[in-house]
Structure 1
Amino acid sequence: MTSNFEYNGRLGIALPRLEQPWEDYTAARQSEILAEWETVRGTIPDRIAQIEETINQKQDALGEEDNFETSCRLNWEIAELASIINDLWLWYRTHQDISARLHP
């Protein structure tokens, strides 16, 4: 059996990678994919919490930073981490309907 998920380094989770239209998968394979997605989806809140902790650390460092260039770098890093959190929430919320198919 091949995996229909591919690790995304930016987000830190595996994302669905379907190689054919959803309808072309057998019902059994669809169930397997949905079960795997439910497992991945369940890790998203913990991943977000980890990133939020990193943001808090960078914000603390930013509050004590006097060097302008370092402050700019920290601001950019915080913004990038916030963007990752946003994308993770989109995956989590957008695909609730997929997870609902597991429990009709």
Structure 2
Amino acid sequence: MKENFSFDHRLGIYIPDIIHEWEQFSKDIQEGILFHWEKIRGSIPDRISELEAEINHKQAELSDENDFPRSCQLNTEISELASIINDLWLWYRANQQISAKAHH
């Protein structure tokens, strides 16, 4: 099933990368893909927690930073981490509907 997923370095997780039409897969393969995705999807909240910890660390660093360029850099890094978290939640929620349909 791993061949139907590719690692997204920005997000830090594997995401679906299916090159064939869903209907072209046998029922067994569809179920395998969905099972694999559910395992990945289940790890998304943990990944988000890791990123939130990084944000908290950078915010603490920012509160003590007096160097303006470094403050700007920290703000940029915090913004990027927040963007990644947003994208992870989108993956988590969007594919929740797909997974729910597959179990019916």
Q: Provide the TM-score with structure 1 as the length reference.
A: 0.95
**Match of residue 93 from structure 1:** 93
Distance 2:82 2:95 in 1: 20
Tell whether 2:27 aligns with 1:27.
yes
Shift of 1:76: 0.1
Superposed CA RMSD in Å reads 1.1
Distance (whole Å) between structure 2 residues aligned to residue 16 and residue 54 of structure 1: 26
- Residue by residue over 1:30-52, the C-alpha shift from the partner in whole angstroms, topping out at 9 and shown as x without a partner, is 00000000000000000000000
Q: 1:2 to 1:69 in 2, by over 3 A?
A: closer
Q: In the aligned structure 2, how far is the partner of 1:69 from the partner of 1:2?
A: 42
- Is the aligned partner of 1:54 residue 2:67? no
Gaps of 5+ in 1: none
Structure 1 pair 27/54, CA: closer, same or farther in 2 (3 Å)?
same
3-state SS of paired residue (2:20): coil
Question: Paired residue for 2:82?
Answer: 82
Q: Distance in 2 between matches of 1:16 and 1:76?
A: 28
Structure 1 stretches of 4+ with a deviation exceeding 3 A read none
Report how many residues are paired.
Answer: 104
- The answer to whether the 8 A contact 1:35-1:102 is kept is no
Cα shift at 1:102 = 4.3
Q: CA deviation at 1:101?
A: 3.4
Whole-Å separation in 2 of the counterparts to 1:7 and 1:71:
31
Q: Offset of 1:21 from its aligned partner?
A: 1.0
**Cα deviations by residue, 1:49-90 (Å, 9 ceiling, x for unpaired):** 000000000000000000000000000000000000000000
Indicate the structure with greater helix content: 2
SS at match of 2:3: coil
Sort the Cα spacing of 1:93 and 1:69 in 2 relative to 1 into closer, same or farther, 3 A: same
- In structure 2, how many angstroms separate the alpha carbons of the residues matched to 1:38 and 1:98? 10
Separation of aligned partners in 2, 1:21 and 1:102: 16
